Structure 1
Amino acid sequence: MPSRPHAPTLTPDGQWEHRAVRNHEQIREFCQFLVREWGGNRHHSYAVPSRGKSRAWSRTVDGKWSAVGLADAVSKYAWSGKNFSENKAELDRFATDLQSAIQRDSNNDVCAILRAIMHWGGVDNKYRQKRTFEWIERNAGEISAKISNAVDLIKDERASLESFDGVNLIMNSTMTKIVSLADPEQKLVIYDGRVGGALGFFVARFTEEREIHRYDIADQLLFAVDRDAKRTPDTNRIHFPALFGKTRDLCHASMVRWASQLIWQVAKECQASPREIEAALFMWGYNVAEEPEH
């Protein structure tokens, strides 16, 4: 299960160990909660704007997306006019090509594949993704080693993530797609504002239904979220940290680690793939601010 990002400080009364055990139990309980949500009957819906990027998608759903449970959300997955299986086939091809290029240490090929992945993810705007493009350019000569290092660090729950300092290694919604596809075991999930928003939404429901006090929520369940109003699942009981802050790369890398461990566990118990759970959360998390209908 996820480890805490910093070394524990033992309180004078020696309560830390008790808290660590309780946190571990709570994360385990939340995994079970999500397993039930997979085949559950929770209703979620939101309006899809008929203008801008979502125009084509809006037309296919008559302006409103809705699902009952997370498994249903996957069946209603849409990205770039394609459904889940069509997008999964595309991601599988990217993963095969990227892993092969990294193994051959062919940095030129890796850079070309990264551009294709960014285009697929709609994150290839040179201006908006300036920081990512600059980092890739600066590290073009050793990009294979850099990406492999990022994957290994995130997957080793005992490893420090301090290297994600925005200079040596970076992590953001674009890079999370890249490390996810670079992982030969496909255990790392894509953690963006939509997946983070959905995880926060379910943590909020979990804490409400169990009446867990805000100070008793395990750190690893306080998923960092995009501060876009529709992606913010805050309630009176729980307030989630922002995904973009001073140590945003370190924070984002921690989220990829925590979410991946959790989603891998949930997927195993649902007999689904982590990619399916991730896709369901991606659809659910487009808008988590509206009151769900009953």
Structure 2
Amino acid sequence: MDKMTDHEVGLVEFIVQAWNKFDHAYQPPKGEPEWKCTSLNNACKQYKWGKLTREENNKKLDDLSGRLQECLVDASLNNHKLHHVCLEILEWGGVEGVSSAWFRESCENGVLREKISKGVKLLKEGPSHDDWERFDNEDLVMNSALTKVYALADPDNIPIYDGRVGAAMGLLVRRYLKQLAPRPCEVPEELAFRWGGGYTQRGSRARHPRNPSEPPYKFECLRSSKNDHEEWCWRTGRILRQVVDTINNDPGRENISMRDLDDALFMVGRIVR
């Protein structure tokens, strides 16, 4: 794995501190009450998805993750059972129709297990791996559906990298850069996390509520950039893994997981402007 840059190490340290102290607030649309947090830990505890509480959601994901991993390691279980679990994951994530043809064809051709396993391996090892080019949106796919499958296949190492998580990472980078002296005049290439839109808003993309850009710092939209969703998932994963390790190696702090951080970022990233 490539060595972390000084800025990546600095961002890890910033997020470690943000777990205990990070103020953020926003006014959601449709008359919902103001949302705010005082730390990433506090944001994590407020996690909600659909009608599920965080406790209910964790129970659901533990079940899906366990069955998915069983299908990936037990060759006696056919690709059709794996396909069914993947469809359940997509239903949970609200992306039922995304890549449905890819899942179906991979299952029918008997290669679904190999493709998901390879995707997981690559997302842990990064772009320097010889097979990275398999992420071509035909052989291996990375999008709003597959990121959930890869993450549940290896929840200790791979985050669910969606538009909200990308927006939150951009916000964290922006605040990290602004507290440096001297302050950088642009976003370092390795920290230029991609964000993604949710609900629509009239006007330019520059004013989208999930766009963490603020002069002089610019972050591109996930959909407008080249096919690099997988790269930013990998970059986010290795940073968050280091955050988890740092916190969990401190005997004075309560242990956390990748999912805890992912949940916190998901809540923070709904609106970042």
TM value normalised by structure 2: 0.86
Provide the rounded CA distance (Å) in 1 between the counterparts of 2:63 and 2:29.
31
1:49 maps onto 2:29 in alignment: yes
2:63 to 83, 86, 93: 93
Give 1:240's aligned residue. 219
Provide the rounded CA distance (Å) in 1 between the counterparts of 2:156 and 2:247.
17
Q: Is contact 2:170–2:195 with CA below 8 Å preserved after alignment?
A: yes
Provide the rounded CA distance (Å) in 1 between the counterparts of 2:7 and 2:30.
40
Q: Is contact 1:223–1:240 with CA below 8 Å preserved after alignment?
A: yes
Q: Is contact 1:70–1:281 with CA below 8 Å preserved after alignment?
A: yes
Give 2:103's aligned residue. 136
Pairwise CA distance, 1:139: 1.0
Q: Is contact 1:38–1:270 with CA below 8 Å preserved after alignment?
A: no
Give 1:275's aligned residue. 259
Provide the rounded CA distance (Å) in 2 between the counterparts of 1:243 and 1:197.
10
Pairwise CA distance, 1:117: 0.5
1:195-234 maps to which residues of 2 (within 5 A)? 195-210=165-180, 211-215=182-186, 217-227=187-197, 229-234=208-213
Pairwise CA distance, 1:138: 1.9
Pairwise CA distance, 1:266: 0.8
CA offset digits 1:68-111 (Å, max 9, x no partner): 11111011111122232321221111111001112224200111
- 1:107/1:99 CA distance change after superposition, 3 Å: same
Provide the rounded CA distance (Å) in 2 between the counterparts of 1:237 and 1:159.
33
Q: Is contact 1:27–1:218 with CA below 8 Å preserved after alignment?
A: no
The amino acid that maps onto 2:54 is: F
Give 1:35's aligned residue. 16
1:151-230 maps to which residues of 2 (within 5 A)? 151-157=120-126, 158-160=128-130, 161-183=132-154, 186-210=156-180, 211-215=182-186, 217-227=187-197, 229-230=208-209
Q: How many residues are aligned here?
A: 250
Give 1:73's aligned residue. 43
Q: Is contact 1:150–1:179 with CA below 8 Å preserved after alignment?
A: yes
Runs (5+) with no aligned partner, structure 1: 4-20, 52-57, 290-294
Provide the rounded CA distance (Å) in 2 between the counterparts of 1:233 and 1:247.
19
1:114 to 48, 71, 86: 86
Pairwise CA distance, 1:227: 4.8
Provide the rounded CA distance (Å) in 2 between the counterparts of 1:269 and 1:220.
21
Provide the rounded CA distance (Å) in 1 between the counterparts of 2:220 and 2:189.
10
TM value normalised by structure 1: 0.80
Provide the rounded CA distance (Å) in 2 between the counterparts of 1:281 and 1:246.
21
| Percent identity of equivalent pairs | 28
Give 1:9's aligned residue. none
1:259 to 236, 239, 256: 236
Q: Is contact 2:15–2:172 with CA below 8 Å preserved after alignment?
A: yes
Provide the rounded CA distance (Å) in 2 between the counterparts of 1:113 and 1:273.
23
Q: Is contact 2:134–2:140 with CA below 8 Å preserved after alignment?
A: yes
Q: Is contact 2:156–2:257 with CA below 8 Å preserved after alignment?
A: no
Q: Is contact 1:188–1:257 with CA below 8 Å preserved after alignment?
A: yes
Q: Which structure dedicates a bigger proportion of its chain to helix? A: 1
CA offset digits 1:11-34 (Å, max 9, x no partner): xxxxxxxxxx8x711111110011
